[in-house]
Every structure is written in C-alpha cells, then in structure tokens.
Structure 1
Amino acid sequence: MERIPIVETYLDINYNQLTTRSVTDMIVIHHTGNPTDDDLSAAEIDASHKAQGWSCIGYHYVVRKDGTVEIGRPHWTIGAHAFGENKHTIGIHVCGNFEIGEPTDRQIESLAMLLANLCTDYGLTIDRDHIVGHRELMSTACPGSNLFAQMDTIVGKANFYAVQ
C-alpha cells in the first residue's frame, strides 16, 4: 500500500497536557467552516485553538487545498475535535468551508489515501461505520454539505488505495 507523505509541522506542543488514546475505532472528518473558503495550515489552526484556551490544535491531521497532509495533534493522543467522542477517534481537518466551496480533487485523493493508511494502521474496516462526518456524531453542519456528499466516494477511494 502506498503511504501518503505527511508533513511534520513542529508545532509547539506541551505533551504533558495531552493524554494517550487507549482505543481507536473511528475517524471523524471535519472542515474549517469559517465564513470564507480558506486554506489554514496546521500551525494557523494550532494558534487559533491555543487562543481559545486549548492545549494545542484539536485535529490529528490537516489536509490542505493542494492535497498536502500536515501533522496536527500527535496521532496517539486524545483529540479535541468532536465533543464526547474524542477518547476513541482520530480527527482529520479538511481545509475549507464546504457549505460554500467544494473540496479540491487533490484533497479528496489525499484524504482517501490518509484514511486507507490510518484504517490499516489501526485495524479498522474502511467503511462508513468507521469513517464518519462530524455531523453524524452531533448537531453541526461540519464537514459541510459539499464534502459530506462525497463521503461514500472517499471511502470507496480509500478501499482502492488500501489494496494498491
């Protein structure tokens, strides 16, 4: 299986404030949801989350508009991305407001390959029971209608990448 290149961001993270996740049984997809269809880096999201009083970026991975995948919160830690569901999930942030914009083809492909890699690494079946949009866990528009509409396609592509 091909591995998606992941950019190390060297965020200033106080590891003493983070807790190890003991189980991983789901991956949650998010979008920015800001008023503009922006392309924020992991460092920019980290700064925004810290300004809100969080220890660091809440998402484990960030998928940029050009398809680049950046490391956010360390993958082995409990995230801060889906209230009540963080202890057992990995959070992936796809940059953009997908209520008004469309994810890029590069984002879709990178997200699918990242999902294939993570599901394989964590022994998860690549299906819609294990890969969900944030809105499936609570009342929110996230990950935006335009990205959410492609979830089945993304999971199908992830299955393709897993056997390559």
Structure 2
Amino acid sequence: MQTLRLGSRGQDVRILQQALALHVDGIFGPVTEEAVKFFQTRKSLVADGIVGPNTWAVLDIGQSRRTISKIILHCTATPEGRDFSVEQVRQWHLARGFSDIGYHYLVGRDGTIYAGRPESVVGAHCTGQNTCSIGVSYVGGEEADGSHRPKDTRTHAQKKALRELVASLQKKYPGATVHCHNEFANKACPSFKLCDL
C-alpha cells in the first residue's frame, strides 16, 4: 500500500475509507484526514493524518464499525416557518463539496425523522467530532424575517421527535453523550440550549 495524505486519490484511498467506515469516493479530503487522525490517536500512533507503513500495519482492512461517543444536535439555519426537504439540504451540502448530506438524521417541521447518511458512515457536520458522532439536525433555527438571527424555531412535533430520536440513539450507543454544535464551533447552532431539549 502506498503512503496516503490529504489530496491523495485512488484505490488505496477507497480501501482506507472502507476500513474507516467513511463514504468511499477515493479522494483523501478533510473528513478522511480527520478520521485517520482519530484512528491514529486511538492506536497510540503519531496523529499526523498521513497513512504510512505504521498506520497500514495496524489498520484492520475488514473493519467497518464506528465507535460512537457523541450525539451532536444541529439546526439547518433556515428561516422559521419554512419547510426544507432532506434532498434540498443534501444539495446544499453537495454544493459545499460534501460527498452527501452531512447529517445522519434530519427532523422536519412536522416531526418526521428523515434518514441522511447511514450511521455506519462518518458524517460531515462538526469539524473534529465527525468520526465519533451521530449528527442530528432539525429544519429551522433562524428568525423568519431573513435577518439570520438565531432562534429556537422548533415546533412541538420537532421537539417531541428530537427527544425520542436522541433517546433511541442513546439506547443504541450506551455511554454516548449529547451535545449542541455550538459546544464545538463558534456559532449559535442549534439555536437552543441542551437543557431545553
């Protein structure tokens, strides 16, 4: 296997991405680099994001299970009262260079829970936390007037669905802690406090 790093492409990158339970596109981008660093840290290797002989030697090519330690809550940062589909959010994320929608779940205004990325695939929703987390977003999070001011716009149905989804994920991933995106990034997302979940 060749040494891989940010910008590498090809079949070896696909093999690496499969082993790390990433979206397999053969392009060693920032999400792949983050996953490599996380893996290297867990294996007590130098966490430089470069896949050389030492990393290849401990990489289980058959590995496909992620270790989930966090559930991270988001909003779509869209105006109150406006509906957006999972496909629209996917298109926004593709336009930003993502390989798919960044979230694992999206909760519509009517409380419907839509699947995004498969849970087995690393998300693209919270820099530095994607490898070990499940990303959950609700539609909304901003004032209706287009000012982009943060606001908790969750409908009663969204609040109920979010609570149920998070409880279900915590049963599936015992020990996983729940966080708001703003704990890891300088932004208002998800426009509510965790205590208000």
Q: Which whole-Å CA distance do the structure 2 matches of 1:101 and 1:45 have between them? A: 19
- The alpha-carbon distance between structure 1 residues 52 and 153, as it changes in their structure 2 partners (threshold 3 A), is closer
Q: 1:44 aligns with which of 88, 99, 103?
A: 88
Using the size of structure 2 for normalisation, the TM-score is: 0.61
* Per-residue deviation, 1:16: 2.4
Bigger relative CO (Cα 8 Å, ≥ 6 apart): 1
Matched, 1:152 2:152: no
* 1:157 alignment partner in structure 2: none
SS of aligned partner of 1:16: coil
* 1:110 alignment partner in structure 2: 161
Q: Which whole-Å CA distance do the structure 1 matches of 2:168 and 2:65 have between them? A: 18
Farther-moved stretch of structure 1 (99-108 vs 79-88): 99-108
* 2:180 alignment partner in structure 1: 133
Matched, 1:16 2:24: yes
* Per-residue deviation, 1:39: 2.5
* Per-residue deviation, 1:153: 4.0
* 1:75 alignment partner in structure 2: 119
Q: What code does the residue aligned with 1:152 have?
A: C
Q: Which whole-Å CA distance do the structure 2 matches of 1:139 and 1:131 have between them? A: 18
Q: Which whole-Å CA distance do the structure 1 matches of 2:74 and 2:152 have between them? A: 14
Using the size of structure 1 for normalisation, the TM-score is: 0.73
Q: Which whole-Å CA distance do the structure 1 matches of 2:117 and 2:72 have between them? A: 14
Q: Which whole-Å CA distance do the structure 1 matches of 2:85 and 2:163 have between them? A: 19
Percent identity between the two aligned chains: 33
User: 8 Å contact 1:21–1:78 — kept in the other structure?
Assistant: no
Q: Which consecutive unaligned segments of at least 5 residues does structure 1 have?
A: 1-14, 155-164
Q: What code does the residue aligned with 1:121 have?
A: K
Deviations 1:39-71 (A, max 9, x none): 322111111111122100000000011000000
User: 8 Å contact 1:40–1:95 — kept in the other structure?
Assistant: yes
Farther-moved stretch of structure 1 (21-30 vs 83-92): 21-30
Matched, 1:124 2:171: no
User: 8 Å contact 1:21–1:88 — kept in the other structure?
Assistant: no
SS of aligned partner of 1:110: helix
* 2:137 alignment partner in structure 1: 93
Q: What code does the residue aligned with 1:135 have?
A: N
* 2:70 alignment partner in structure 1: 26
Q: Which consecutive unaligned segments of at least 5 residues does structure 2 have?
A: 1-22, 26-30, 33-63, 143-149
Q: How many aligned residue pairs are there?
A: 132
For the pair shown, which has the larger CA radius of gyration, 1 or 2?
2
Q: Which whole-Å CA distance do the structure 2 matches of 1:123 and 1:49 have between them? A: 29
- The alpha-carbon distance between structure 1 residues 139 and 94, as it changes in their structure 2 partners (threshold 3 A), is same
Q: What code does the residue aligned with 2:189 have?
A: C
